[in-house]
Structure 1
């Protein structure tokens, strides 16, 4: 042993035995011989190699040979790209460049690269550093290779689960959620994925247990492949053999546990039989590993997910099965949430559809069309409504309302208010009086709502516009409660906003409502709408209102076309508020449908009134209704003379029914009562009620009108022969 001037120690060049190095009298370290160095290198558990300046392999340990399944002696003298074809194809070029860079720079740079050997799932990391001689010159590069397969796979699993949390369940749509699961799984996990859901899950219904069921109906919700066109899609959905109780898939459904399938499974052998016309791209890609994982959420199985590998060489491992179970479990919760949303939305929409008019009311006063579009937020339902209500005297009421908020609470409140409007309209209240009664109801609904209830003390506030049109006179009376003013288009003119007296929204209480009356020519168009039509984020309300007037003022072949034009121009694809639009074209009663006579307050005029009514019915061809109508006219006119006062007017209307009206100047309400045996009077209204379909009273500012309706006689069509 000698020590030079630099302090470096080394064995004598001719010594083959270990030489101790001492510090004083105590030995510090024993320098191994060449044989011992080789033995130590071979016993290292990680592959170690040394490339000289000529880039050939000069030294390697036993672990390096085992990593490529070749003897070490056969590797010596080879270039990096010649050691293993797979190493060269997938990472050899980068390895050569790294060695050249380390030789050139002479720096111990921490260069690492991941190498996937062909035919193996192992992933390697190579750490390279320069090897210097005593003079400090770089003579070669040492390469230490570590097998990081499990670490990389663990990172990939975590990354996949992280992606799943961000990408699966982005919408509340069952089909899209299944597609997101399939798309994510084929990116870096499986080569072909299918998601089959129970049919009731796709429909949004409650999923039933798969136990004790005669049959299981599946729906292919999603499939995705690394190959274009999904040639593996011959994996059928709902195959009888695939879902038998003793099959792998059947056992998975019954037990609710994920399962790996091997090549000797009968079902897998059937699945791997590819049709010849579709197997061209699959010649070198046969399914060799399959996992079946149930979609299970809240203890209920919703469907199955199938993971297949054919391009990826490695089979699914137990860790892959655990990862797939976690991935599908997260997706199952999202699918179940989407299913619940689908069911709740369908329920809410069914409720709202049941609360809105299902068909056009039977009346001839106006031609109407309407559009309703729910909001795109929440369950897609709200409190907007419209209605067309036939009234006495061939009149019609047009209603549009808007309840505060969205969801089931708003829809339920809307239903109660709409029912109340129809009830109040049936007793012929004037528009301002009707809104006053409706305001009281809104206050009562608000008081009924508990502050600590599920709705959190939501107010039952609403807006409403109520209009009554009389086709006999062309008069239209309107009142509003915090609602946007209507737009009217007269024949040959432009659309204009009808200025109505302002009124507070329903539910405020204590403030009055006021009506306004307009005369509308025949073929005028009235547009009633909710604020969702003109109030949209990013658009000025005044500008939207001006555009609405311009659209309604344009010529249109029909009110259907005008309605569609308005909706397409003003309503976005996904509105953030409900939109209701009611468009009505007015009609007028002509001499063929309307007759009126002013009568003096004299009992002798009753017979004259009967005669005039009979003559008018004969002119209308309603001879079969003469007898009944004469009795009704006699009783109503007699009551008006006896208990009412001037002026007295008799009116007959032939509309959807035969209507008889008698107007007098008294506001005294008539009462239907049953006369006793010896009473001389009191049978008039009872007789009217028994002879007609319905009767009633409505009040005006100067008196009242008693009316009675009877069905029109059926007119037989002439025989074509």
Structure 2
């Protein structure tokens, strides 16, 4: 640069990653020097436009590398003196304009005469001094005539040099041959012009600079599109182009949207793409594509829906336990995807077809189908006979098709009220289980896909029904076992009148371990028991049976409630870590009207008093059996005559939305409401007039009232649709106190004279009760029992007689040692007292008391 400041930078881009060779670098330096000279001349012309002329340095103008480079690039140089209207061109520029080198006379008119007539208007429009005023650049493309008469495209570009007053003085520039470029551009323009999609080029103000035929058709333009504002056109305005155009221009990001032209009802996809100086608009008719997409989407949705239904069906079959569960699953998940309206499932039992489930058919038609013989015993050729014989599905598309195939039974078609059928045999493990038929209200053509799918479904149905049938049989046996372990009837006892209910869990649930019991004890006392083995299944039901037996055994030992639960807790704990049970054990003594309760993790009882009030004793929350740590809490409650005890398991009062506490509160409200609606639930017993304690005439009536109360509680607390989670047990008992006239009690001295006094008391009391027939036997029993106490135990000694269904004689003392019968030899003087007691009484036994023990013996009352 010879120490001068730089004027510009020339960048040469090559496709090769490496630098050029020495010759190429020399060429680049030569071209750079030539361009620098041109730029300096331009600066001189600007400073003094009237004096300076553009002169090419001699050493550059004559340099072979410059000439070779310009010739290769087909670039010519020119200078236009606007004041003198002369045009100076180098040899390359003259050749590009169609003149022989040196033949151009430098006149502007000569140059204009070489331009194609069609291009003349816009070339003249931009080539006047007025047009160049205020501009620094000059650019125009046009065609020039060649010596052979052909035309080529050239591009003239230059820099405008102005005087100090702003008037353009000269233009210095270059001339390029762009014929090939224009040909490519024209080909591209023709492609755009006739392409199938609409295409527009719009400037920054929204004016259309190019629009192809499809765009003109879409916009419905009656004239030339070029120059019109896009959103002034009605169709463009109707689809909201302007706001989207402005958003795309502001964001410099493409915007896509779909629009429907109402008149043609066709859909178009419009894409706005920002470009320098404007926007391109792409318009594509997507009506057919949308229709195809919609069709494919509908088909895909149908396939997905069907696959989902099959998956749901498979899942439902996996969860289905009973036959009815399977039939419901088929009705809910097979019929809707196919648009079917009817279903019949028949299974083979004892060589006959039994309807196990149906929907969409009349009862009369189902009655006709039920219990028909299985082929080959079937007398007629029917679709069922055919599919069970061949074990292949049968598809009938219309009543005409049915009549053609099975003319013998066509008369039954009106009764079925169906128009198309898919008869599907049910075969599981190579065993004919039955069949199912899917039917339709309209004639239907079954596609290959539907036939394949229904055939596959029939296999799933067959396996599910086979499993369900085995479950039904097993469940029935389990329920029979469970019911066999529960009391068949409750004993009729003087102290209580009781009613009970057991409700198995909802359909599909396994058997449970809830139980209840009413156990007679000595002295007319009664044990009331209710319990729940946690879990469901045969194992739990068997455990319930073991616990019930254990409770009976322990109750016969006359253990108090807390001790009985302690032994029961040991038993449950020995069964394993996975076994737990809850239990409520109560003993009611009619002689004192006191009821003692002990509870292990069980809901407390509800007590209904004769005045209609309801309350529950407060228990500390003891854990269930198997997890509890004794001792258990015992609560004693004084019960007025005609009180009602309500004992239940958690399955009756607890649910997913109701815990135990809320359930007990709800139970109390229901009992209060039931008593308010039915006051006679608490009747007063009528006296028998003979001093007896049983309300004989009212027993049946009281039991009926208790049964109604049980039904009310069950219907309210556990409606039919809610029996799905747990089984439930309910025990309701009305208490009867023993009349004071039926109880006689004496304190005896702790001395040998006690036996005599006891005989005297017995003789007098039995005379008062008009039971003289029992006096001798009773005196002998009392004498032996009292004598045994005096000889082997310690005081205080008490004698008590109870008149009830039998005559009960009780002797109590202060010793906890219980007597036992032992075998006496022929020479023994003693040891035969208890043998005598056992022989003279109907039954006898011993029980512990808080102060010692009690030995008792019962004798039946005389008839009449």
Same fold (TM over 0.5): yes
After TM superposition, give the deviation of residue 310 of structure 1 in Å.
Answer: 8.2
Partners of 2:374 and 2:385 within 8 A in 1: no
- Is 1:236–2:236 an aligned residue pair? no
After TM superposition, give the deviation of residue 434 of structure 1 in Å.
Answer: 1.1
After TM superposition, give the deviation of residue 474 of structure 1 in Å.
Answer: 1.5
CA separation in 2, counterparts of 1:396 and 1:293? 61
After TM superposition, give the deviation of residue 473 of structure 1 in Å.
Answer: 1.6
Residue among 283, 304, 325 paired with 2:435: 304
**Unaligned stretches of 5+ in structure 1?**
1-96, 115-124, 128-145, 201-212, 447-457, 716-721
Distance of aligned partners of 1:629 and 1:157 in 2 relative to their CA distance in 1, 3 Å threshold: farther
- Is 1:219–2:355 an aligned residue pair? yes
CA separation in 2, counterparts of 1:313 and 1:481? 64
CA separation in 2, counterparts of 1:440 and 1:126? 72
Partners of 1:650 and 1:660 within 8 A in 2: yes
Aligned 1:167-178 pairs, distance under 5 A: 167=313, 169=317, 172-175=321-324, 177-178=326-327
Distance of aligned partners of 1:427 and 1:299 in 2 relative to their CA distance in 1, 3 Å threshold: farther
Distance of aligned partners of 1:330 and 1:157 in 2 relative to their CA distance in 1, 3 Å threshold: farther
The corresponding residue for 2:542 is: 412
Distance of aligned partners of 1:307 and 1:603 in 2 relative to their CA distance in 1, 3 Å threshold: same
After TM superposition, give the deviation of residue 435 of structure 1 in Å.
Answer: 1.5
Aligned 1:55-454 pairs, distance under 5 A: 101=265, 108-111=285-288, 160=306, 162-167=308-313, 169=317, 172-175=321-324, 177-178=326-327, 180-181=329-330, 193-198=342-347, 200=349, 215-219=351-355, 221-224=357-360, 236-240=369-373, 244=377, 247=381, 249-250=384-385, 252-254=387-389, 256-259=391-394, 268-274=406-412, 292-306=423-437, 311-312=442-443, 314=445, 321-376=451-506, 379-446=509-576
Aligned to 2:795, the other structure's residue is in SS state: coil
Aligned to 2:680, the other structure's residue is in SS state: coil
CA separation in 1, counterparts of 2:331 and 2:559? 61
- The higher-RCO structure (CA 8 Å, 6+ apart) is 1
Determine which structure has the larger helix proportion and give its number. 2
After TM superposition, give the deviation of residue 552 of structure 1 in Å.
Answer: 3.9
Distance of aligned partners of 1:606 and 1:544 in 2 relative to their CA distance in 1, 3 Å threshold: same
After TM superposition, give the deviation of residue 550 of structure 1 in Å.
Answer: 4.0
CA separation in 1, counterparts of 2:596 and 2:482? 28
CA separation in 2, counterparts of 1:233 and 1:669? 70
CA separation in 1, counterparts of 2:552 and 2:324? 41
- Is 1:669–2:818 an aligned residue pair? yes
CA separation in 2, counterparts of 1:231 and 1:367? 47
CA separation in 1, counterparts of 2:798 and 2:545? 38
CA separation in 2, counterparts of 1:376 and 1:351? 17
Distance of aligned partners of 1:318 and 1:650 in 2 relative to their CA distance in 1, 3 Å threshold: same
| Larger deviation, residues 254-263 vs 539-548 | 254-263
Residue among 661, 671, 680 paired with 1:557: 680
Partners of 1:179 and 1:223 within 8 A in 2: no
After TM superposition, give the deviation of residue 442 of structure 1 in Å.
Answer: 1.6
TM-score (norm 1): 0.66
**Unaligned stretches of 5+ in structure 2?**
1-260, 270-282, 682-705
CA separation in 2, counterparts of 1:650 and 1:421? 29
Partners of 2:309 and 2:337 within 8 A in 1: no
**Number of paired residues?**
554
CA separation in 2, counterparts of 1:684 and 1:152? 97
TM-score (norm 2): 0.56
Partners of 1:362 and 1:390 within 8 A in 2: no
Distance of aligned partners of 1:175 and 1:104 in 2 relative to their CA distance in 1, 3 Å threshold: closer
CA separation in 2, counterparts of 1:566 and 1:310? 45
After TM superposition, give the deviation of residue 660 of structure 1 in Å.
Answer: 2.2
Partners of 2:600 and 2:628 within 8 A in 1: no
After TM superposition, give the deviation of residue 522 of structure 1 in Å.
Answer: 1.4
After TM superposition, give the deviation of residue 390 of structure 1 in Å.
Answer: 0.8
CA separation in 2, counterparts of 1:345 and 1:654? 48
Residue among 685, 696, 706 paired with 2:855: 706
Partners of 1:161 and 1:327 within 8 A in 2: no
Aligned 1:9-48 pairs, distance under 5 A: none
Residue among 441, 462, 476 paired with 2:581: 462
CA separation in 2, counterparts of 1:644 and 1:527? 41
After TM superposition, give the deviation of residue 548 of structure 1 in Å.
Answer: 3.4
Distance of aligned partners of 1:173 and 1:503 in 2 relative to their CA distance in 1, 3 Å threshold: closer
Aligned 1:438-517 pairs, distance under 5 A: 438-446=568-576, 459-492=578-611, 494-500=613-619, 503-508=622-627, 510-517=629-636
After TM superposition, give the deviation of residue 537 of structure 1 in Å.
Answer: 3.2
Partners of 1:431 and 1:479 within 8 A in 2: yes
CA separation in 2, counterparts of 1:517 and 1:104? 88
Partners of 1:220 and 1:237 within 8 A in 2: no
The corresponding residue for 1:131 is: none
| Larger deviation, residues 406-415 vs 184-193 | 184-193
Distance of aligned partners of 1:475 and 1:503 in 2 relative to their CA distance in 1, 3 Å threshold: same
Q: Considering only CA atoms, is the larger Rg found in Structure 1 or Structure 2?
A: 2
Q: Deviations over 1:242-274 (max 9, x none)?
A: 753795644643554435689699982232114
Aligned to 1:637, the other structure's residue is in SS state: helix
